[in-house]
Structure 1
Amino acid sequence: MTGSMLALLTATLGGISFPVHAVSHGQSHVISATDEFGPEGLDGLDGRDGHDGRDGKDGKNGKNGKKGATGATGATGATGATGATGATGATGATGATGATGGATCNSIHSAIMGSTQLFAVVEAGQIFSGVRSLDPAPPGPTTWDNITTLGTPPDDETIEGACDATIETMGAEAFIEVTTTTGDVWQTICDVDDGTDPTITCTDPWTLIVPQPTP
């Protein structure tokens, strides 16, 4: 259709033709089957693009994947700072008393009887008696006897830990006293011959002086 005129189209259905009226400005016109159609009209303009459709809803989260294999052990970390000093522990029990050590005392004492000199000596815990002649001068050689143990077994007596000794004379006898590291005081009496070749003979066992001194 062009202009202001509405053409009458003829439709055929089942081999039957029937007129179609067109109306223009209040008038009707009948087109017969023998009328020719006019030239084909121009194509219409393309319509506008439609609006974009709405975004679809987010899909559901998928299931968690399987746990991966354990990774390799990491490197050793740096050494930490030194901790604070712990509290002092309780005092331990007192240990057993150790064995008595060897004597370390040394002493010497002498006495004069006429032309004879007598000695009582302690050396490293051992006790010695000594004698020498003073005439003629100079003094002659000294004779020493170890008297740490005196007496006849089984009645002999041994001094343990001797530390100091003294000697005094009375008549033809010499009195020798000894103190020990444990505080005991012992005594023996010896016979003295102050002749040309003097001697001192100690045979009596050591005996404790009674009573013992008390600090």
Structure 2
Amino acid sequence: MHRIRWVCVLAFATIVAGVMALPQTAGNPSAPGGGADIRTQLLQEFGRLKIKAKGKPKTLPFDAVDKRLQAVATRYAELAANRPAATPAEVPIELTFAELFAPNREDCFVALSNTVIRLMPESALADLAIYAPDAQPVGTFSNTYTYSRTAVSSYTLHFFQYRTPDGRLSKTGPDLLLDRFRARWTDVRDRVCLSLPATE
């Protein structure tokens, strides 16, 4: 009987020792190779930005939107660069406006800045109704294009064309977009605002 008890105790001790020796990564997003994937980690770190629409018509401040999108993209690059080589490659990550922003009201606009146009996939802009600063509709999104300039400092800006109600194509560049063109929050809420490439 005593021998059987000792065998059971030794077996239990062996199991416990084996568990304690396992890498403690499960459930710990900060541990290399363990816990949340990059998409989940981004959403956990940033959450939904509470943002107040301002002006008339009520529009989300374009600089705050740009800053948040840039911050998420930068953080993604850091996480992707530090991903352990042994972990499986991440698939492309797509985040919607609703996942990153929480406006104080639904009846507001989002400025289609150069940053927004650069980071949104063109497919997410398809058939989007475009509005002027006075909230009057001016047309429907057609396609994106870039404008590059080489001088003391070279740069490339992203713009878009829209089709007017009479069928003409109208370009939005080369002046900075800022908040010169807008879209309704309810129209873009569930569209992808940030498309991040797959990690290798």
TM-score, L = length of structure 2: 0.22
Structure ranking higher in strand proportion = 1
Work out which structure has the larger RCO, using CA pairs closer than 8 Å and 6 or more positions apart in sequence.
2
Structure ranking higher in helix proportion = 2
